[in-house]
Chains A and B, each alone.
Chain A
Amino acid sequence: MKILIADDDAVSLRLLEKTLERAGYEVTAVSHGRKAAEELCRPDGPRLALLDWMMPQLDGPGVCRTVRRKRSQSHVYLVLLTSKSSKEDIVEGLESGADDYLTKPFDLGELKARLRTGMRILELEDNLLEAREDMRYKATHDSLTSLLNRGTILELLAGELNRKRRDKSSVSIALGDLDHFKLVNDTYGHIMGDEVLREVGRRLLGSVRSYDFVGRYGGEEFLVVLNNCVAEKSVDRVEEIRKAIGSSPVRTTHGRIPITMSLGVAVSSPSDTRPLEEILCEVDGALYAAKSAGRNCCRLGNVCPE
């Protein structure tokens, strides 16, 4: 674990450095507050710190206030280590944002125990953040394909429609449906059907740019949002996606399963003020047209079917 120690007293700094290195910490030692704040505010900076109170340029409480103000990503556990020991000092130190307070000269056992407490708290925070990130991922992604789920892709699409009006750009929206997917499920079983859907997800992601969005819209339906893609280019782009999907049969544990996809496309230009639902209606109509035209093709929509 990385730890920062800040003290302008060379004796104290060296004593702490050696003690903490012996205890297994990776120590960064600095002799003034400004440098301490700079190190602690770095994204990959230490998350545990022992700070002297009185230091040149910026004192210990000043470092605490700076770190609390600037760093919002993850918590830094700050311990003030000082020979100021009145109740008023302790209160002032803690109010500045310190998590703990130790008086000099430190007792070795107490110092180590308090740092272990800090590490436990940081570990707890890491676990909470990880759980929150896991929940956020589950709430926004489809569990089978790991693509964005329906709610998220629609939310992102709504955001992109607003943005393109401001930026005066165009957004192309493609809705793809796997052809005869029911037959895949009926012939090979749902487990194989799931394998096919996962592979389709991979192929879709592999055929779009990093700033496009791909989501699972329904069972075997997928929505692709092509940002900054004008009408003249949209059909070509969607054709590329269609070809990527059908380029080769999907290899499954039960053999190779050929697949194709039909796609409908709608383009929302900068002046388009239609609501999301209306654009989705258009793209749905275009998909229907692609299916009617014999499948494994794409069609550009322009009217919302009544």
Chain B
Amino acid sequence: MTKSEHAAIDRYVNMPELLARVEDDRELLAELLALFIKDFPKLRDVLHHAVHADVPSQVEEAAHALKGMLANLSIQRGAELAANIEAAARAGDAREIQLAMDAFNAEETGLLPAVAAFMGGE
């Protein structure tokens, strides 16, 4: 793996924390990241649909699910941003939801490529 691939994943994932959580099991780490690559786009699409449909309860639910997945993989900033969407949806604040969504979208743009590159390098 190149230094730049390491740097890319480190921007999103707290790797020491994640490695500690998986007890330094690289096979498990690869398995979890593969599941993430498969499931994350689905959850993200559910969130987008809920935002477009303007149903705060569904936004809250989808953001909550994303928050849990991201937190488990020590994708801390992503989890924080998903938590912001969840909080805004719980408050029923459409403007806050949109602002939180914008921040989340900006953050997650590079996330999947970084994880995929890391997986390829591993």
Contacts and interface: CB of A to CB of B under 8 A. Distances in A.
Interface of A: 8-12, 14-15, 18-19, 22, 52, 54, 82-84, 104-106, 108
A18 B36 contact: no
Interface of B: 20-23, 25, 28, 31-32, 35-36, 38-39, 61, 64-65, 67-69, 71-74
Cβ-closest 4 pairs across A and B: A105-B71, A83-B68, A10-B35, A11-B35
A105 B20 CA distance: 12
Contact of B72 (A54, A84, A104, A108): A104
Contact of A11 (B23, B36, B64): B36
B65 A11 contact: no
A9 B28 contact: no
A15 B72 contact: yes
15 contacts: A9-B69, A9-B72, A11-B35, A11-B69, A11-B73, A14-B28, A19-B22, A22-B23, A54-B61, A54-B65, A84-B64, A104-B71, A105-B21, A105-B72, A108-B20
B22 A15 contact: yes
B18 to A, nearest CB: 9
A19 B69 contact: no
A55 to B, nearest CB: 10
B21 A108 contact: yes
A12 to B, nearest CB: 5
A59 B64 CA distance: 14
Nearest to A85: B83
A20 B122 CA distance: 25
Contacts of B28: 14-15, 18
